[in-house]
Structure 1
Amino acid sequence: MQRTPPKTGLSQGQSVSEPDIPTATAGKADVVNITTRNKRQRLADSPNKEECTEQTGPFSAFKLELMDMLTTWKSEQEKLLRSWKDEQAVILSNLVRDVTELKRKCLSIEKSNAEIDNSMSFINEKFESLNSKVSLLEKERIEHQDHINHLKKQVQDLNFLSRQATIEVRNIPMNEKETPTDLISAVSSIGKTVNMEVGQSAFRDVYRIPGKAGLCRPIVAEFSCVNKRNEFLAKVRKFNKERSVNDKLNTQLIGIAGEKKPVYIDEHMPPATKKLLYDVRQFAKARSYSSWYSNGRILLKKDPTDKPVEIKSEKCLSMLAIPVPVPAPERVKP
């Protein structure tokens, strides 16, 4: 069976409870399992303020000391922070100043670099121009040198042609009042000694080479024709070749009084040819070559069977002085 519950005026989910349990249970002996707890009163609301102050005094002092310490620490930190900020501001200001100065210097360096680039470009242009001019001048110098050598050769040929019929007699003593007739007589005496009759009509001109006073200057005798000159030289060379050193052509044999001196007769050469012939003879003596002068040509050879080499300049001697590399023998494979 169902019964209807009594009406309490409560909605579903609500319950009846006493808000003040200690007051509700006061005077009831059968309520023994209920434990009561006194609520701690606040200091401001406590009726016993003096008692609470005595109990909380040390804590309050510690709290005040801690607050003072925190306040002091905070002020020190704020002071340090302000000092740090001031230092950072100074550093930042210096940094800004340094960066500004660095930018200014960078701009100055960029300007200088631009000027240097312009200068280098200008120098490069000038260098290329000068290099072209130097190359052109070098080419012209080579051409001029070739032309000069060609002119020298022509001058040498002209000298040779102008001296084709002349001889040079060295070591004939000089007289104080010497005349061309005396010189012709001396050359004619040489002709008689070598078995060749040479009269005054055989000569076009006879004279001594100009030079310092007191020196025995050579005699230049120009024959009337080249064949006569060549015949005279051939006779002299044959005469000297058939005799010993002491009996070769000398001043006593040609009837000149005084000390006996050897007499040397050769073709009349220009000074440049004489110097070149001297160098060739020194070269031949040092390397066991044979050298001689014939009809304006200086000839040189190593062995009697070799073909003579004509020496036209010192460059030819330099080329002969350079040793020719001998190729190494080929290795025979086993």
Structure 2
Amino acid sequence: MALSSPSEQKESAAYMTHNDIRDLVKEVIKSELKTAISNMSETLTNELRAVKDEMRNMRDSMSFINIQYEEIIKQNNINSEIIKNLQSEAVDMRSTITNLNNRINQIEQATRANNLEVQCVPETNGENTFEMIQKIGNAIGYSISESSVTHCIRTAKINRSSSRPRSIVVQFNSRKTRDSFMAAAIKFNKSNPHDKLNTVSAEISNIKRPIYITEHLSPANKALHAAARSRAKALNYKYVWVRDGRIFVRKDDGANYNLIKSIDCINKLV
């Protein structure tokens, strides 16, 4: 066009119709869109690649977590089985220990078969415990000789702060002698309900204090006896007694007796 004359340029320009302009615009738009789409596609590709990488990392993390979780579940199942076995063993051991304690208690009680415990006898310096037992025997009408007693001694206090005198444990030479002495004491108290065995009637002291004669219980049975008396008192039980190392309670004269073998038996009293 630069080589053409002005008249030729005007003539050529006259031939640029609306269709030509529209086509030219289309070409420009198409070119721009292609460039824009290319740029957008590259951007999306990069972003999708980043998302894929992130998803791959998440998948790897989830896979690792799942493996760890499976290991935890597996170990938990193993631990649960171990705990179950230990609990079963603990139950067996508790049962065994209970049985052993019962057997030990029976043996301890059996060693006391010839013994009586005399409570609340005042203590004095240089005292002769056998002479005190002789005086008690004379008071209840059952005389005893030195040959009928193999051992006679004060016991240690369980509660050292208590002002109550230490008990005297008497070991007789036979079960029969022990039972006869005990029967005489029971008979005396029944015959003298208002003046039961005491320090004055036994000529042990001028100050009147009651004297109690009981079977010599093992430590376990003594604790059980104390618990039974406390529970019976709270429930207004009329009778609590010991026979041959066994503890009994009875609500009243018309009720059946209950044998107290353990704390569970006491807790079931109503």
Q: Is the 8 A contact 2:135 2:204 kept in 1?
A: no
SS at match of 1:193: helix
1:275 maps to 2:212: no
Match of 1:203 among 137, 149, 163: 149
**Number of residue-to-residue matches in the alignment:** 254
For 2:83, the equivalent position in structure 1 comes to 134
Instruction: Please report the TM-score for the alignment, with normalisation by the length of structure 1.
Output: 0.65
- Code of the residue aligned with 2:135 in structure 1: it is S
1:189 maps to 2:138: no
SS at match of 2:70: helix
Distance 1:272 1:117 in 2: 56
1:287 maps to 2:235: yes
Instruction: Please report the TM-score for the alignment, with normalisation by the length of structure 2.
Output: 0.79
Q: Deviations over 1:199-234 (max 9, x none)?
A: 222111001112449952111111111111111112
Distance 1:283 1:94, change over 3 A: farther
Distance 1:268 1:77, change over 3 A: farther
Distance 1:239 1:84 in 2: 127
For 1:251, the equivalent position in structure 2 comes to 199
SS at match of 2:143: coil
Alpha-carbon deviation of 1:91? 5.1
Q: Unpaired segments of 5 or more residues in structure 1?
A: 1-63, 322-334
Match of 1:144 among 82, 93, 98: 93
**Bigger share in helix:** 2
1:265 maps to 2:213: yes
Bigger drift between 113-122 and 199-208 goes to 113-122
SS at match of 1:204: strand
For 2:48, the equivalent position in structure 1 comes to 99
Superposed CA RMSD in Å reads 3.3
Distance 1:236 1:140 in 2: 49
- Code of the residue aligned with 1:210 in structure 2: it is A
For 2:8, the equivalent position in structure 1 comes to none
Distance 1:258 1:91 in 2: 120
For 1:61, the equivalent position in structure 2 comes to none
Distance 1:241 1:77 in 2: 134
SS at match of 2:132: helix
SS at match of 1:205: strand
For 2:175, the equivalent position in structure 1 comes to 226
Larger Rg: 1
Query: Any residues of structure 2 matched to 1:57-136 within 5 Å, and which?
Result: 82=32, 86=36, 92-136=41-85
Residue identity (%): 24
Distance 1:104 1:241 in 2: 100
